[in-house]
A and B are shown apart, each in its own frame.
Chain A
Amino acid sequence: MFKRSYALLAVLVITGMVLAGCGPAASAYECTDAIGCVDVAPGEPIHIAYAMVISGPDETLGVDSRTGVQVAVELKGQVLGHDISLTGEDEGCSAEGGQAAGTKLAADPSIIAVIGTSCSSAARVAVPLLSQAGFVIISASNTAPDLTREGDPNQHPGYLRTAHNDEVQGAAAARFAFEELGATKAATIHDGSLYAESLQAVFARTFTEMGGEITAQEAVDPNATDFKSVLTSIAAGEPEFIYHPIFVKAGSLIINQTKQVPGLEEVKQMGADGMFSPDVVEGAGEAVEGAYVSSPDLAAFSEDYQTTFLPKYKELAGVDDPVSIFHAHAFDAANMIFAAIEKVAVQDEDGTLHIPRQALRDAMYATKDFKGLTGNLTCTPTGDCADPKIAVYEYHAGEYPPERIWP
């Protein structure tokens, strides 16, 4: 009985395969790409996904970038006669979140490219999954150096970024502290995230090379609330400058509590672009006065930023000011993808679009002198595409955005 039904099943399967084989030829196009092609039927949209942090205490970072992508999609309208559909997953700004988002997105073969992740910690886990799936991955805000360092286990094929590499940002922060503020003793705090750890390492290295002294390199738990103990222990080294390139929740509490630790009342403190957010002003209260934060230099953005991008951003997000700083990078990332698709896609007469994945990756890496909002983007063979200009901003109590003070 069993045998017979198996035989029947086998016959059915074989018949199905044969029929599928000699069915009407779908198209003359034959995919020869090393890692496959995506076919987009006429009337179907081109599927782009995002993997960003869109909930929780660090959500402004991801929500801001997502709006940047949405602006790009709106302004672009269509690519080669196809609409653009944007879906996405929350990466939670953590390795666990990156794992979940990466697994879900990698399971969807209709995705052509993923814009993300927001946080380097999530990238470390999500990028290998997405790279394996054959996507182009381009992040607007991952800044950890190892993601694009040649030969590094965290560098994967198909990954690029429009955000600056922290080698640039950490060094700029050290120059600001040493040359501009004249600090000679500095302490650093990181939260164990890839982003913060590499930033503070670059800062410490540059600061020491310039002749400064690092009194402590502490680490904290990003979910903790009491930082007075760790700050008290840092105070024993009498630093003049504390560099804490971490995220909003813990960062704003550290800004607040530093002023309450004996010996640190007058210390200068500085965060990095992860703390460029109205939530810092809200979370740190009056203590935020005089805290510094480094960020891509918004003043160096192209003219289109003010005239075309911002009005659309405000309309889509329903806010008066951008809530974080990587929206322009996300916009550029999306447009780079569109440009690369237009370069490599093959179109049938009926409008069906074939996008070879490896060719798309190659086209992305070959991006040269791309006129974006954030500058003229040229990608390195490992995917660093930014045209990095870093500025330092100073927070004032109750005010957002902070004031640009250097250079």
Chain B
Amino acid sequence: MLRTWRQRVTATDFVIWTIGIAIAVMVVYGSIKTLALGKYDTATWLDLTITGLALGGVYALIALGYTLVYGILRMINFAHSEVFMSGPFTAAFVADGLIAIGWWNKYPIVSLLLVALVAVVVSTTIAILLERIAYRPLRNAPRLVPLITAIGASFFLQYTFRGLYGSGLKGYPDMELLKGFWMLGGVRIFRTQATVIIGAFVLMLILYAIVQKTKMGKAMRSVSEDKEAAALMGIDVDRTIANTFALGGIAAGLAGVLYLILFPQAHFFMGFIPGLKAFTAAVLGGIGNVPGAFLGAMLLGLLESVGPSLFLDGMGIPAAYQLKDAIAFTILVFILIFRPTGILGERLTQAKA
């Protein structure tokens, strides 16, 4: 018994588990100390949670693009953060135009839809062009080649947009309709945050339904299972892949509009950090898996928002929020130690990996 156990467990496993357990102990210890401290009341915790969910909603929509493309091409589209940036950056100018003609506060819903439409069109166009120009010619190249191309495309897009719109900040106007807050059973929730959480959730459901229920979605799933077999069954692989990028682009464009509602400023570098976080969320949830991306994104948003206060304040660590990324990524390590494929990730078969 002991012998087989010894054979199965290596020293590396032991070290990794020790790290995992240490993280778990720190988290629990910090949380208990913080709660015992009583520095924050229930309302504060709820505020932090809502902030985290809103942030997670935006991450989720961006993560969808990463996860869909990975699922189908086994490739990480690092230029996706620029797909995310391009739409809303353009839409911020449309919003200015709508203010100038007086529509912004007069027809807020129409204005929002127009802004979203522009963002989606720009982001989707960029996503499709990216696939057509940068990735399709390299479809059969070694796997590292499109990865490097993606990074190159990312820089190209950033600096193109910098050239187009300048390197300064572009403010996004406040909307009368979204000012203030709603009371929800004694809980105060800001309209912007409520809009983003509900919007992200509904959009995720719609996009998930497209992947699961439509013919196009079925084609996407079959191409991700096996490209050759799908082609033999009469599925147009090129078109399906283009569709996948388009769907990711739509999600990114919408994510961008929600992002601007939360954080009303656009600039050419705005995609980098959210893109990185969304990619992390996709890995956390199990890359290639749509509900996983949603779960991972929400978890990451919550960790960033609640984590520093909950885990660190009790231990008396000053300026806890500077460490929010460190906390989020520590938890990521923790989860990946015990579930290497992510929360909902499937174990890749040899053929797919």
Contact = CB atoms under 8 A, between A and B. Distances in A.
A283 B169 contact: yes
Interface string B157-179: 00000000001111111100000
Contacts of B273: 223-225
A230 B167 contact: no
Interface in B155-203: 167-174, 188, 190, 192
Contacts of B270: 225
B82 interface: no
Interface string B79-121: 0000000000000000000000000000000000000000000
B274 interface: yes
Contact of B168 (A59, A226, A236, A285): A59
Interface residues of B, number: 45
B47 A261 contact: yes
Interface stretch (A214-222, A293-301, A345-353): A214-222
A249 interface: yes
Given A232-B48, A260-B192, A282 B170 contact: yes
Given A233-B44, A252-B169, A283-B169, A218 B321 contact: yes
B44 A236 contact: yes
Interface string A221-242: 1011110111011011000000
Interface string A252-273: 1100110011100000000000
B289 interface: no
B265 A233 contact: no
Q: Which of A230, A232, A236 has the most CB of B within 10 A?
A: A232
B43 A262 contact: yes
B40 A219 contact: no
B39 A249 contact: no
A229 B327 CA distance: 14
Contacts of B274: 225
A81 B306 CA distance: 65
Contacts of B167: 55-57, 59
Q: Which of B173, B270, B304, B321 has the most CB of A within 10 A?
A: B321
Contact of B320 (A225, A233, A249): A233
Nearest to A54: B167
A139 interface: no
A385 interface: no
A172 interface: no
A286 interface: yes
B324 A219 contact: no
A160 to B, nearest CB: 30
A253 B44 CA distance: 20
A60 interface: yes
Interface string A292-317: 00000000000000000000000000
A60 B325 CA distance: 28
A248 interface: yes
Interface in B267-303: 267, 269-270, 272-274
Given A217-B318, A217-B319, A229-B321, A249 B173 contact: no
A279 interface: yes
Nearest to A287: B174
A217 B274 CA distance: 26
Contacts of B325: 221
B263 A221 contact: no
A229 B324 contact: yes
Nearest to A197: B319
Contact of B169 (A226, A233, A248): A248
A60 B168 CA distance: 8
A212 interface: no
A229 B52 contact: yes
A193 to B, nearest CB: 12
B322 A192 contact: yes
B265 A229 contact: no
Contact of A253 (B265, B269, B319): B265
A207 B61 CA distance: 45
Given A59-B168, A233-B313, A226 B322 contact: no
Contact of A229 (B48, B173, B174, B267): B48
B321 A219 contact: yes
Nearest to B313: A233
Q: Which of A225, A229, A233 has the most CB of B within 10 A?
A: A229
Given A228-B51, A229-B52, A218 B319 contact: yes
Given A223-B272, A226-B263, A233-B308, 20 more contacts: A57-B167, A59-B167, A59-B168, A192-B322, A217-B319, A220-B321, A220-B322, A224-B324, A225-B262, A226-B51, A228-B47, A228-B51, A229-B305, A229-B306, A229-B321, A236-B44, A253-B263, A260-B192, A282-B170, A284-B171
Interface of A: 55-57, 59-60, 192, 217-221, 223-226, 228-230, 232-233, 235-236, 248-249, 252-253, 256-257, 260-262, 279, 281-287
Closest 6 CB pairs of A and B: A219-B319, A230-B321, A219-B322, A282-B171, A229-B305, A283-B265
26 contacts: A59-B168, A218-B321, A219-B319, A219-B321, A223-B272, A224-B273, A225-B259, A225-B263, A226-B51, A226-B55, A228-B47, A228-B305, A229-B304, A229-B309, A229-B324, A230-B308, A233-B308, A233-B321, A236-B44, A249-B267, A253-B265, A282-B168, A282-B170, A282-B265, A284-B171, A285-B172
